[in-house]
Structure 1
Amino acid sequence: MAQDSVGLSSDYQFWMQKVSTWDQASTVETQQDTCLHLPRFQEFLRQMYEALKEMGLLCHVLSAFRFDIREVGLFTQGLGYAPADYYPGLLKNMVLSLVSELRENHLNGFNTQRRMTPERVRALSRVCVPLITLPDFEPLVEALLTCHGCEPQEVLWPEFFDAVSEAFLLKKISLPTSAVVCLWLRHLPSLEKAMLHLFEKLISSERNFLRIERFVRDSSLPEAACHPAIFRIVDETFRYALLETDGAPEILATIQVFTRCFLEALEKENKQLKFALRTYFPYASPSLVTALLQHPKDIPQGLWHQSLQHISEMLREIVEDQTHGSYGGPSDCWFAFIHFGGWADVAAEQLLRSEADPPEAVLWLLAFSYSPRDGSQQRAQTMEEVKAVLGRLLKLLRSPGFSARDVQAAAGQSREEAPRPLECGPLIRCLLLNFLLWAPGAHAIAQEVITLMAPTREITHEITGFLDQTLYRWDHLCTAAPASRKLASELLTELRGQV
């Protein structure tokens, strides 16, 4: 390094003369000389940058602690070291020393003789603001975030939190989950920015469950949400977004994906669960949450109908029996239910794959999941309409052959009318799409039926979302028949090409 420093000094004189010559003349010979030496000049500038960077950093850090870089230089010369040899090691050792001191500060917070003063911690956090994205300073940033004193007021510099949050969201810095949790607990705006950043990514791309899962996992929110306080803030943000968007499918999908990733992280962190589930879902009945937590893939398919009936009965008791209203109203129950929305999808599928009459409990569950604000009388009417459509679809299923017009009529339109777009709600469309995927006789006419079902761009998006969600769920349940999966994939590809 000392030889490199000497070399840079001599090279500096050489290049200053060259640049002066290039600047004073514009002859052909000068241009040729410039082209010849330009790569070497670029390499010289790179070496100069690396050398200056280490000394710029040291000046910045040492100034916060009333040290002078000239004093350090005199000391190193007395030891026989060149600055280029000593500065990088000094910087590294200084960071390690500060990290060690902060960790000791954290472990001995009440031992005033061994504690770093709040003023010094605050000054250190301020010094780190422009250095946060440098790899050498990541251990110091982490140590500052995870160091807690006994002061009633936050001691870290506000701009430090802002800078760390921005760098973390832009992937300019890597932090362990423990540091991210501390960041979001100590600085609520950072958590709010993380949620907004996730929503912006969702809005800027088409609805796709695999993409949503990638965004959610990339956000670090599921792992950090293992801390109940963070989970409650994230969950309430989702609830607010759901109300503001009037139940937008993208938000519903994100809540379901987030919940699945969160439960995976929770299980990975602690098999015994540090906190009771009611800590995360205080507005829902613990028995209901326990039932919803049973993933369909962990239950034999032959017992799915029993689980659906049990879930439906508990929800119905809370929603419609006012004497058991200790866990909130319909909106709270619905919000808890949609976290585990796979059960509603399983219910719709089961109705189309069963030859028996549709159970009232499953009909009620579907009606509630699609229209939670309906009263008992309106929900009962929806159940009757769904039951009638199911009866006609199951009748088609047993017939030797049927056309797209027959399916159109089963949805509630007269067979005598000319073919026109189907006018039915999302729940009826859900049943029709399940019928197309599971009825072998419907595969050949599926595209024609969907053309009738989707007269608008909005409904086309809805059907695209249903197919994408269905394939995503089948991937996790491993329940799809090859023919059904192939049809769903083909329909999804074609519809995405149209929008």
Structure 2
Amino acid sequence: MSAPQPLSQLQQTAEPLLNAQETQFWLDKAVAWGQADRPDSQKDTCLHLSGLRDFLQQLLTHINNMSSTTETMKKLPFLGQFLGRLCWNPYVTVGDTSRELLLRCLWGLYSDHPSNAVERKANQWIQKLLRQLATEDDDAAAQALMKHIGAPDKEYHLEVLKKMVTKLQENIGKSCSFPSTINQRCACDTILATSEACVPLVTCPEASSLIDALLQRPVTCVRDGLSEDFLDALSSACASQSLSLEEQALISLWCHSLSSLEEAVLSLLESVTNTGSTPHKLELQVAQSLLPKACAQHCSMFLVANDIFRSVLKQAEGNESVKSLIQTFTRCFMRELALLQPQAMSVSMKAFFPQSPQSLLTPLITLPSEMSQEAWKSHLNWLSSSLQRVTEGEEEGAIDSRSTRGHDKVFEAWFLLVECGHWVQVAVQLLVTSGPEDCGPLLRLLTFYHHPTNRWHHRALQLVRAKEVWDHLSCLFSRIRRPLPADRLQSLATLLSPPPPPPQQPALAPSFTLNLLVNFAVFCQIPLSASTEILQTVVDESGLFDEAACALSSLELRLNEGNCLPSDGVHLRIKELQNTITHMQSAPSPAAI
């Protein structure tokens, strides 16, 4: 098939509904692009693909309204040359949408029963053009054409695509060389053009090596960059799951595109908070997202992710799902960071947590397993005292102009405590074996964790209520009494499902009571049967089956990681309590029987 002829004498008036000025614009573009064998024509083709598809859709509507190919060619005499030129442009035909529109236009021109020489010649011309468009796709238009006219050579388009990718990939291997003269171009200039030319190829499997090479190419000079259109196309393709990038290529995409990174973090947040994942499933989701690994490799990524978490947490202070995600993400991030040692040693932890109170940073990010069990209580007492000084500083400054700054300091201290939830878990565990004289600092830390905002200056009241809950549970789990005191069990269930509090009288967070209850059931010294009966009765009364199961699963996960060293038989107690909760969830309610 010979190359199409010029259009200079073929530009005639089209249908009234087809804008003449717009038609002329696209005719001129088809001529200027040719076979897109120059960087400028490749770039221009990619920039105008969306508008071209709209125009092809208009043409298709006109073709479908015609009674025959003869009428179509009479009213749209430019159509054959226009479609022919587009079929020779691989940057047009490589995209699924534009290729399908071209196929449908050709199908509209094909005559099943040609009645004259014009229609017979058109059929022959269409059969040849199909060699330009034949693909391995099973779209309906291609099947219809192949069925009716037997379009041959399905591999033709694939070979064109492979040659095109190979040619583009040659540009990537060129290293940066500073121009010796002012008129000489830097080799890096071709990277931008190559990435722009790659826009219509992002969902093609054959272009995966080209995309990976573009994303992972080291930046060698200030002129070296990727097209925003290319990055946007990759982000959209990943979001719609029509493109799957290799691990490092995806991380490189987040490096190049801030919006893509933000979308990935928000997508993780949405998927976790909407589905109510179990701790084990949450751990898997976060790890598989690759975000902790990317953040460990690139401090700037961690700062972006942390800012998103910070903003969401400010709006959802009491959302346990959000807090669990932040804790899990930070834990996975610290694990990935440890795997990078000693490379990561060059980056100070202060660089990852610049807004956190620096006096609290190292004590909080230190894992419980990194110190002796005997040192836990003194460590937590010190943390509690430090947090108390931060909160008291906020309250003292509330009457002057520095109150906003003080509130920010308190929030950052709380945010860091949320991220390092392992110490919260240890504090709850130690409360089970603490006496009245030792529980004060631990309860103060937990009260701050569950009630960071000093609404109406009732933090002191919350601490009093927390002490009452601890007294309640300590008495209940200290000795076996038969039958179990129904009034105490009922009051615990009420604390877990409290009625709406009076105005300006916020209730104690149910999550505080539930976690303390679960830890007493696991770590107390009374027989397992008694612990099981207490937990079963209270959970059944409150209806918090899922929450209790989640608290047990979270505790099990921490123990398996070695952050909270278990005593003999603890794992057995957890399993038995989990089985009890599971059985309660599956049992029919009395009303259903």
If the length of structure 2 is used for normalisation, what is the TM-score? 0.61
| RMSD (Å), alpha carbons | 3.7
Tell me, yes or no, if the aligned pair for 2:496 and 2:542 is still in contact at 8 Å. no
2:194 matched to 1:124?
A: yes
Of the structure 1 ranges 332-341 and 320-329, higher mean CA displacement relative to structure 2 is found in 320-329
2:583 matched to 1:479?
A: no
Match for 2:158: what amino acid?
Answer: E
Deviations 1:189-209 (A, max 9, x none): 111221232123224533211
Aligned to 1:71: none
Tell me, yes or no, if the aligned pair for 1:222 and 1:265 is still in contact at 8 Å. yes
Tell me, yes or no, if the aligned pair for 1:284 and 1:327 is still in contact at 8 Å. no
Q: How does 1:55-454 map to 2 (within 5 A)?
A: 55-58=159-162, 61=164, 92=166, 94=167, 97-101=170-174, 104-105=175-176, 108=177, 115-116=186-187, 118=189, 120-147=190-217, 148=219, 150-151=221-222, 155-169=225-239, 170=241, 172-177=243-248, 179-226=249-296, 227-271=298-342, 273-322=345-394, 328-355=408-435, 357-374=437-454, 378-405=458-485, 409=488, 423=498, 425-426=509-510, 427-439=512-524, 440-441=526-527, 443-444=529-530, 446=532, 449-453=535-539
Q: Secondary structure at the match of 1:156?
A: coil
Tell me, yes or no, if the aligned pair for 2:313 and 2:322 is still in contact at 8 Å. yes
Match for 1:281: what amino acid?
Answer: F
Deviations 1:204-261 (A, max 9, x none): 5332112112211121111221322211110111122223334321111111111011
- 1:320 and 1:259 map into 2 onto residues whose CA distance is 27
Q: Secondary structure at the match of 1:373?
A: coil
If the length of structure 1 is used for normalisation, what is the TM-score? 0.72
Residue identity (%): 24
- 1:467 and 1:260 map into 2 onto residues whose CA distance is 18
- 2:432 and 2:325 map into 1 onto residues whose CA distance is 26
Deviations 1:84-126 (A, max 9, x none): xxxxxxx65x46533312xx13xx46778683253x3333112
- 2:271 and 2:389 map into 1 onto residues whose CA distance is 39
Match for 1:484: what amino acid?
Answer: R
1:395 offset after TM fit, Å? 3.3
Relative to structure 1, is the Cα distance of residues 432 and 117 closer, same or farther in structure 2, using a 3 angstrom cutoff? closer
Q: Counting helix residues as a fraction of each chain, which structure ranks higher?
A: 1
Match for 2:353: what amino acid?
Answer: F
Match for 1:372: what amino acid?
Answer: P
Relative to structure 1, is the Cα distance of residues 433 and 451 closer, same or farther in structure 2, using a 3 angstrom cutoff? same
Q: Secondary structure at the match of 2:458?
A: helix
- 1:246 and 1:358 map into 2 onto residues whose CA distance is 28
- 1:411 and 1:228 map into 2 onto residues whose CA distance is 50
Match for 1:269: what amino acid?
Answer: L
- 1:453 and 1:212 map into 2 onto residues whose CA distance is 23
Relative to structure 1, is the Cα distance of residues 495 and 264 closer, same or farther in structure 2, using a 3 angstrom cutoff? farther
Aligned to 1:70: none
- 1:235 and 1:498 map into 2 onto residues whose CA distance is 41
Aligned to 1:465: 550
- 1:110 and 1:479 map into 2 onto residues whose CA distance is 66
1:318 offset after TM fit, Å? 1.8
- 1:109 and 1:444 map into 2 onto residues whose CA distance is 78
Aligned to 2:44: none
Deviations 1:279-304 (A, max 9, x none): 12122122311001111122222221
Relative to structure 1, is the Cα distance of residues 492 and 450 closer, same or farther in structure 2, using a 3 angstrom cutoff? closer
Relative to structure 1, is the Cα distance of residues 398 and 445 closer, same or farther in structure 2, using a 3 angstrom cutoff? closer
- 1:360 and 1:342 map into 2 onto residues whose CA distance is 19
Tell me, yes or no, if the aligned pair for 1:202 and 1:250 is still in contact at 8 Å. yes
- 1:413 and 1:57 map into 2 onto residues whose CA distance is 69
Q: Which runs of 5+ in 2 are unaligned?
A: 1-111, 114-145, 398-404, 499-507, 589-593
Relative to structure 1, is the Cα distance of residues 131 and 441 closer, same or farther in structure 2, using a 3 angstrom cutoff? same
1:403 offset after TM fit, Å? 4.5
Aligned to 1:490: 579
- 2:199 and 2:206 map into 1 onto residues whose CA distance is 14
- 1:165 and 1:485 map into 2 onto residues whose CA distance is 43
Relative to structure 1, is the Cα distance of residues 467 and 461 closer, same or farther in structure 2, using a 3 angstrom cutoff? same
Match for 1:488: what amino acid?
Answer: L
1:460 offset after TM fit, Å? 3.7
Tell me, yes or no, if the aligned pair for 1:259 and 1:340 is still in contact at 8 Å. yes
- 2:327 and 2:482 map into 1 onto residues whose CA distance is 36
Match for 1:353: what amino acid?
Answer: T
Tell me, yes or no, if the aligned pair for 1:142 and 1:175 is still in contact at 8 Å. yes
1:393 offset after TM fit, Å? 3.0
Deviations 1:161-192 (A, max 9, x none): 12322444538333343x44442233221112
Relative to structure 1, is the Cα distance of residues 434 and 305 closer, same or farther in structure 2, using a 3 angstrom cutoff? same
Match for 1:332: what amino acid?
Answer: E
Q: Secondary structure at the match of 2:432?
A: helix
Tell me, yes or no, if the aligned pair for 1:110 and 1:150 is still in contact at 8 Å. no
- 1:461 and 1:381 map into 2 onto residues whose CA distance is 29
Of the structure 1 ranges 358-367 and 320-329, higher mean CA displacement relative to structure 2 is found in 320-329
Greater Rg over alpha carbons, structure: 2
- 1:277 and 1:117 map into 2 onto residues whose CA distance is 35
Relative to structure 1, is the Cα distance of residues 485 and 95 closer, same or farther in structure 2, using a 3 angstrom cutoff? farther
Match for 1:482: what amino acid?
Answer: H
1:274 offset after TM fit, Å? 2.5
Relative to structure 1, is the Cα distance of residues 126 and 307 closer, same or farther in structure 2, using a 3 angstrom cutoff? same
- 1:339 and 1:165 map into 2 onto residues whose CA distance is 28
Match for 2:466: what amino acid?
Answer: V
- 2:517 and 2:379 map into 1 onto residues whose CA distance is 24
Tell me, yes or no, if the aligned pair for 2:171 and 2:194 is still in contact at 8 Å. no
Of the structure 1 ranges 445-454 and 245-254, higher mean CA displacement relative to structure 2 is found in 445-454
Deviations 1:51-72 (A, max 9, x none): 234323047x3xxxxxxxxxxx
